[in-house]
Amino acid sequence: MRTTCAAIVSMFAMMGMLSPGMAQAAEIIILAGQGVVSAVREVAPAFERASGHKVVVSFEVGPGLMNKVNSDAPADVVTHYPDMIDDLTKKGKVLEGTGVVIARAGIGVAVRAGAPIPDIGSADAFKRSMLAAKSVAYSRGGASGLYAAKLMERLGIADEMKSRIKLVDGVPVAEVVAKGEAEIGMQQINVILPVAGIHYVGPLPPELQDYVVFSAGVLAVSKQREAATAMVKFMSAPEAAPLIRKSGMEPAAH
């Protein structure tokens, strides 16, 4: 971690972000949804140590994030899917030129702690495990859930699985699995890992894997644009990659 922090300080110095003009600490608010909040919470303390600014991570559930953005609630940075950041830029909600890809997350499988471990080592094995399960949970509207639904169709088992699918809203899918309300859960790996009472089986097999990509941008309503821009640049910088990986996500490609 010391090596990472030293690299971050060096990066800020090269980018001119530790100049006397930045000496006055600012407080910046980041709006983050469930899919990327783990990465944001990992990088925030490192940014605070290197820059002297304070970061408040506002975890938004469901439509809460977009409701705040659209109502111009006080905040400085927003994280979302790249196409949503682009759309917000076109609408004037995000400052032009500040949107950057920060991380991506693969999709994984979880079962309740102590439950039999399904075989997901190949596409065929995964398909057999789905058909053998009494119930399978994934999110109703999140990107991972939408992909899981398409995956059932792609594997030709959507009709057979229909009565056994449990759609989840507002909470991590793994929490439903931990309570025994579903036998198998699928969601972003970084959202699965922090949940107690589950066993993380592993990622989807390579031939079935998909990635949910996230970007960040500076909000037009920000009153701390310089600090917010520095935070966004930091989240997408190579020096932040170890922190992104620690969160269970993968850093942006460089």
Spatial distance between the Cα atoms of 231 and 12, rounded to a whole number of angstroms: 10
Q: What is the dihedral of CA 196, 201, 202, 203, to 10 degrees?
A: -90
CB atoms closer than 10 angstroms to residue 125: 13
With b for 16 or more beta-carbon neighbours within 10 A and e for fewer, the 48-66 pattern comes to eebbbbebebbebeeeebb
Could you state, in order of their start, the residue ranges of all structural domains in the chain? 2-104+213-251, 105-203
CATH 3.40.190.10 fits 2-104+213-251, yes or no: yes
Indicate the fold that domain 105-203 takes in CATH.
D-Maltodextrin-Binding Protein; domain 2 (3.40.190)
Q: What is the pLDDT along the chain (254 residues), one digit of tens a residue?
A: 444 445 555 555 444 554 444 457 899 999 999 899 999 999 999 999 999 999 999 999 888 999 999 999 999 999 999 999 999 999 999 999 999 999 999 999 999 999 999 999 999 999 999 999 999 999 998 899 999 999 999 999 999 999 999 999 989 999 999 999 999 999 999 999 999 999 999 999 999 999 999 999 999 999 999 999 999 999 999 999 999 999 999 997 75
Sign of the alpha-carbon torsion through 50, 253, 190, 147: positive
